[in-house]
Amino acid sequence: MAFEGILTQPDTKPKRWRRAMLSVSLVLHGAALLAGVAHSLWQVEELPMPAVQVLLTAAVPPPPPPPPPKKKASTKPKTNKPVETKRLVQPTEIKKEEPEPEEQADDSGSDEGVEGGVEGGVEGGVVGSTGPAPPPPKPKNTAPRMVSDKVARALLLIDPNAPQYRVNLPRALARSGQVYVAGLRVCVDARGSVTDVRVLRSAGPALDSQFPTVLRRWRYRPMKVDGQPVPFCYLLRYEVSAR
């Protein structure tokens, strides 16, 4: 029983020795491996760069064209052509033909004349006229005339301060008590009706949109030039304020 106890007793010393030897072996192998790698890197020499030489050669010029073939000399003898002598001929006189006199047309009984016309007058002239037809009259200038503000206000037929002919100031702007001024160009036709309203100086988006609608209700007396009614335009300074 004592002998079997010895055999069954765990052997702790060999296991510790083996572990120590394994650790030492790993350390030695790792150190040897690192030393080999360091030695190989230290002994590597830099390789010289290969020398590259580039030669640039121009394109080979084309060969010159072959010389033209020489003409063979003809073996035939040259013969001199006889020189022709020109004979002098006496010129003959040429008689000039006299032009025949033209027959004068008798205009006394022709139907092309116009009653009251004059010899040498213009074709298509007026009967009984002694000269050319008068030029057509120049077209009348229908463009509107520019007039002053005073002239335009004197032709007004309505009261611009009436509610239906006045631009209203919104409540939000009326609280500030500020006066808004706009510059307008108003055009009126020959009958006195407003045809165009343009805003040249803005008084604000809320007021600019009202000017064309309100001012087209205005009416004027026709402005006459040489007794004829003509269209006109004028510049209007319009003030809007809270009342």
What residue ranges define each of the domains in the chain, with the CATH number in brackets? 145-240 (3.30.2420)
Closest CA to 208 of 198, 194, 196, 218: 198
pLDDT digits (tens, 9 = 90+) for 6-64: 556 555 556 788 888 888 889 999 888 888 888 777 765 555 555 556 556 556 667 78
pLDDT digits (tens, 9 = 90+) for 178-236: 889 999 999 999 999 999 999 999 999 989 999 999 999 999 999 999 999 999 999 99
pLDDT higher than 90, residue 66: no
Q: What would the mean pLDDT of 67-80 be, rounded to a whole number?
A: 67
pLDDT digits (tens, 9 = 90+) for 130-149: 556 677 766 666 788 999 99
Token pair, residue 143, equals 């463009």
Q: HEC string of 96-152?
A: CCCCCCCCCCCCCCCCCCCCCCCCCCCCCCCCCCCCCCCCCCCCCCCCCEECCHHHH
For residues 147 and 230, the answer to whether their CB atoms sit within 8 Å is no
Question: Is 117 exposed, middle or buried (CB count within 10 Å of its CB: 0-12, 13-18, 19+)?
Answer: middle
| d(C-alpha 160, C-alpha 155), whole Å | 12
| d(C-alpha 155, C-alpha 223), whole Å | 8
